Structure 1
Amino acid sequence: MGNKAKLGLLAVIALVLTALFMFWNIGSNWDYVLPRRTMKIFAIILTGGAIAFSTMVFQTITNNRILTPSILGLDSLYMLIQTFVIFMFGSGTLTMMNHNVHFLMTVGLMVLFSGILYKVLFKREGQNIYYLLLIGLIFGTLFGSLSSFMQVLIDPNEFQIVQDKMFASFNNVNTDLLYISAILIVLVTIYFARYMKYLDVLSLGRDHAINLGINYDYVVKRLLIVVAILISISTALVGPITFLGLLVVNVTYQFLKTYQHKYLIIGSVLISIVALVGGQLIVERVFEFTTPLSVIINFVGGVYFIYLLLKENKSW
């Protein structure tokens, strides 16, 4: 089966699962249920697409299939921002604050952190990308420790609000935020289009890319900005889903068995949508909302991550 046929098969599976999610047990309340499920599907497509897209680009840049953009510390920074707001001003502030303002503030701070990190680290010549990952990992640990410190001190009732932010949820996504996210993702995709042609060569590694005439540092900086914006949008929209990108991108590599990113990116997005829609169906129909979708994704992704580590270890 060719890659185009495989992508067609994935698209059909995604459509079938989406239709099943939209119309299963809808009853007579079409006017109420259908718009809510439509918004939920829209949120799943945006989030799954952004995470898969950014993880595929990130793994190509780092030339490593067991890394995800969360290593840059953005998930930990998201939790720090939410915890800090509640710690300083109380949970009522989040309720009273305009959702659009809160969303844009969160995305803005996460992108600003990434921009400063890139600017400082790439200012000196000879700094490789693994140095950036190390610094990102350190900052992620720092942000996580600060969040835990504040969570211990706040009122238990306030902590319940913080705890809700720890897990991704598609059940109460604000409609206005979906439109803003969609516009931002489209703009980032248009910006990314000019660098798409470099990905196949970047997957060969830094030295080969430079030898083949690519301005490596220039291209990598721009692609890292794209990754940071996409992860910031998806995290601020529904919350952190740490292992989703790792899971869907590696499954895409196994399924398509190609180096061409024009197939890999589309395939990873479709597999991500299949995983999220299928997972949400299980959460709603099997577990009856007792378990968050992110817990299921992170559990499966964590097991798969351990499998990848053991597999890499054997190959050494």
Structure 2
Amino acid sequence: MLELRRLRLLRELHERGTIAAVADALQFTPSAVSQQLAILERETGVTLLEKAGRGVRLTDPAVVLVGHATALLDRAARAEADLAAAAGTVAGRARIATFQSVALQLAIPAMDALRTHAPQLRTELIEAEPEQAIPALALGDLDLVLGDEWQHQPLRLPAGLERHELFDDQVQLATCERLRDATFSDLEHEAWTTGHPGMAWDEMTQRTCRELGGFEPDIRHRTNDATVSLALVARGLAVALVPGLAIPQEHPGIALRSTGVTRRILAVVRAADAARPSVQALISALRR
């Protein structure tokens, strides 16, 4: 009978690439990981690992076994989730990852509410962009990721993850007071601020300027912190398209107007864990 813990180590090695990375993620020593994988080789009777430079790589039979291991581990996780749901106790550890604006306006208030409604649940917050957080969730390093999906850029999830839509966030055009009455096309020759190249915020800004104004924006300032962009806007140094969640209630020196552009805020979890009371409690708190 193959042991699930050893199968998980093999799957982790397939995903993470090195024994050191597996050991670090699972809080084992590298020698303990190697020892358990050697036992798994003896149990299966086939060679699972072969030398590759200073490290190791999986053999073809090992890759086949990883596919079965993934299915078995998923079934085991679903069984644990169903048992937890039957018990009905909201407890344990919940690791949440998201980015700044959603953390401030959504994650932290939800965690505060859970402190009262689910005192046995330990919540942990990690600031991370979805591009890094989603793979970590799939690997089991996180329990829930708060992400976003733009109209022009659907969020693609790896197998085994599922999405829970929370609400739509309205994107605002932010200018200084001097430009309050300017039309969108009037802003062609203004300086713009947005996210770094390749980020969804940057792509949304460029696409919206083309579609609503008919021009390519002169992007002079790049930051993934909307607070920095809004400070530039308030001083008349730039204009910006900013999601509503990132805009504080008090924003002196800044004029706002709706654009009709939205992003959808999502909670992403592992499908095998969706029935867990802790995950259900998190999603319910985020919807309040």
Structure with more of its chain in helix, by fraction: 1
Name the TM tier (shorter chain): under 0.3
Q: Structure 1-normalised TM-score?
A: 0.21
Structure with more of its chain in strand, by fraction: 2
Q: Structure 2-normalised TM-score?
A: 0.23
Q: Which of 1 and 2 has greater Rg?
A: 2
